[in-house]
Structure 1
């Protein structure tokens, strides 16, 4: 058995081999992640069964399965057990529908995909809406799985068999959640451009999470909002930096709010939250269009932190009537139809508390483009809303090679100065992508905390300086990273050239002697 979350993640990824041979990463992502989630839920469910019946947890899944099946034969005990399971787990998984039962049915040759679908439907239809629609995208009849029912059945059976050897109940919630995050990251790596729809690289998520929680690690009931939450990876990073100790674990008290337009990705975020043991009372996710549908509109509507990695320069329906929308009306102009970057930024900023902190990833164009974006940027700077601009290396993201920046916003920056950090050169190369290392993140955080000039790296620009630059925030205007080239010694260069010519002459003579020995008339020019 895998022993760490890293080992578990790699073991789970290996289970995708049978799917990987048949379909693209974007297609098999939903099948593997859905089955991993279901097995994790089923394994915990079986252990809970034994805990409720015999008040112990040191049991194998097979033993727990047998006890569950035996209890189901006693109507009185079964009824009481189901009531307790519904209360503790939020759903009922029938004995014949557990992951372990399906594995046994495969070995017996009696497994049917329709029974798996029924198990999913039973969970989705549990009391309350915690699991509602969770498996919408798990299509057992998809041609991606096979040409007919028999082939589909065989394909899913292969994945179930690959996963069965892992007992998810043996892992902590953090380890299981981290392994699931690892899987999502692997899918992002293989999905190319589609990765931007559901995943923010962990290093970027870590940087933003550390900034928005700084100094507030012990805040009870801390709330974080991501209007373009994808798989929830950026949201969930926040809990890693909340204060933890034996009697108080503030990471368990974080309220997560997120909206996602893509239904597949929305359900992926829900599964991700559950596997990280975020209880239903602390996860508040919505499937909707952030720009056309302001959410949330019921209490609470403002949050301690806002994190966001929206789709860059997305076209949007910038109807003139939206200028009266409370999210945008303060800024005189709407973001242009060709680039919704500032629409996303203003939406998130509107939902930030007065003492909140927002971190958003955007392309560099938002720092200097004119027209409507220039007007919006000027208003933000006049209000003192932009607190810092951090330039990141190019090629960090799976879906685009362009360099990006993180803009930090606050509503309480009376000095109106802006810290500029140029971290564009702080990366290591890993295969085809650049990686922001922990050392680079720590360097950024230190500069962010100290908020002072660092030669060729950081500059604290006054409002006056920014105004003199016509509210242009292009980082090179404020951080000079130019390195003078070492002067060339002409005499040494000519000596080197002379040596090269001499070596070439000697090599030509040697080759001509060799040609002569071979009886060839060809000669190299000397």
Structure 2
């Protein structure tokens, strides 16, 4: 019997993800700006899929009936102990991004609450509360622009249909690398930027790590040219 290839299956989403750019093109957003709109939403669906997989694992571990008998505060602590983040809407209201997109009338309020329902670290990663001028993921800025162009609901709905839950982190990383290469191609055409291969990134990380002494102190490294 021939086994299916998970990586091949997940790459079917590459064209779906790129089709979200049709809305960006249609509302007048320049191609050079597409990555700044696509990156935060791609990160969003990746994070949600990871949380849903983790929740399913927790159900299997404890039993679904037992899990839903746990008090919200205890459930929150139990999930956050997994170290993969938290979202009030997903875990306490059983609402995913796709569920929110079922009601266009309540969408603005629900989507805002959904984003603010993430833990602080995840909100920082996505740029939910980003200040003007902050770089990398700025979902707040993307939302403001898309709302002004009256395509926010349609754009989010496109992303909500991308279900990465069946795939593990390795599969999703493969998809991410394919998408990032195309983003890099756009950047290279418009700003002279080039894609840095994973093996080069890994080597740089190893060199940096070799210079760091063991310590209980929290260490933060800032690299202003690290890209994604």
**Could you tell me how far 1:48 is from its partner in structure 2?**
2.0
- For 1:51-130, what aligned pairs fall within 5 Å after superposition? 51-55=57-61, 71=68, 76-95=70-89, 101-123=96-118, 125-126=120-121
Deviations 1:298-338 (A, max 9, x none): xxxxxxxxxxxxxxxxxxxxxxxxxxxxxxxxxxxxxxxxx
Q: Which residue of 2 aligns with 1:12?
A: 17
Q: What's the TM-score once normalised by structure 1's chain length? A: 0.32
Mark the runs of 5 or more structure 1 residues left unpaired by the alignment: 58-63, 214-221, 227-256, 270-526
Q: Distance in 2 between matches of 1:56 and 1:17?
A: 43
**Could you report, residue by residue, the CA deviation over 1:450-477 in whole angstroms, capped at 9, with x for unpaired residues?**
xxxxxxxxxxxxxxxxxxxxxxxxxxxx
1:132 aligns with 2:102: no
Aligned to 1:35: 41
Matched, 1:47 2:53: yes
Match of 1:147 in 2: 148
- The answer to whether structure 1 residue 185 and structure 2 residue 181 are counterparts is yes
TM-score, with length taken from structure 2: 0.66
Cα offsets for 1:406-427 (capped at 9, x unmatched)? xxxxxxxxxxxxxxxxxxxxxx
Q: Is the 8 A contact 2:24 2:34 kept in 1?
A: yes
C-alpha change, 1:84 and 1:195, in structure 2 (3 Å) is: farther
Unaligned runs of 5+ in 2: 1-5, 131-137, 210-219
Superposition deviation, residue 8 in structure 1: 3.1
State the alpha-carbon separation in 2 of the partners of residues 15 and 46 from structure 1: 23
CA distance in 2 between partners of 1:14 and 1:99 (Å): 28
Residue 80 and residue 147 in structure 1: after superposition, are their counterparts in 2 closer, same or farther (change >3 A)? closer
Per the alignment, residue 21 of structure 1 pairs with: 26
Name the structure 1 match of 2:224: 261
Q: Shift in Å at residue 2 of structure 1?
A: 8.4
Equivalent runs, 1:273-312 vs 2, <5 Å: none
Alignment root-mean-square deviation, CA: 3.9
* Cα distance change, pair 146–167 in 1 and its aligned pair in 2 (3 A): closer
Deviations 1:474-494 (A, max 9, x none): xxxxxxxxxxxxxxxxxxxxx
State which of 183, 191, 195 in structure 2 corresponds to 1:194: 191
Distance of 2:7 and 2:96 partners within structure 1: 22
**Greater relative CO (CA pairs within 8 A, separation 6+):** 2
What is the distance in 1 between the residues matched to 2:62 and 2:161?
22
Higher share of residues assigned helix: 2
| Maintained 8 Å contact 2:43/2:126 | no
1:43 CA displacement: 1.9
Moved over 6 A (4+): none
Task: Measure, in 1, the Cα distance between the counterparts of 2:47 and 2:147.
Answer: 27
Match of 1:357? none
Higher strand residue share? 1
Asked if structure 2 preserves the Cα contact closer than 8 Å seen for 1:6 and 1:179, the reply is yes
Alignment size in residue pairs:
199
Q: Can you list the C-alpha shifts for 1:113-172, whole angstroms capped at 9, x where unaligned? A: 35434443443525xxx76354131125534x2536xx1xxx232233323333212223
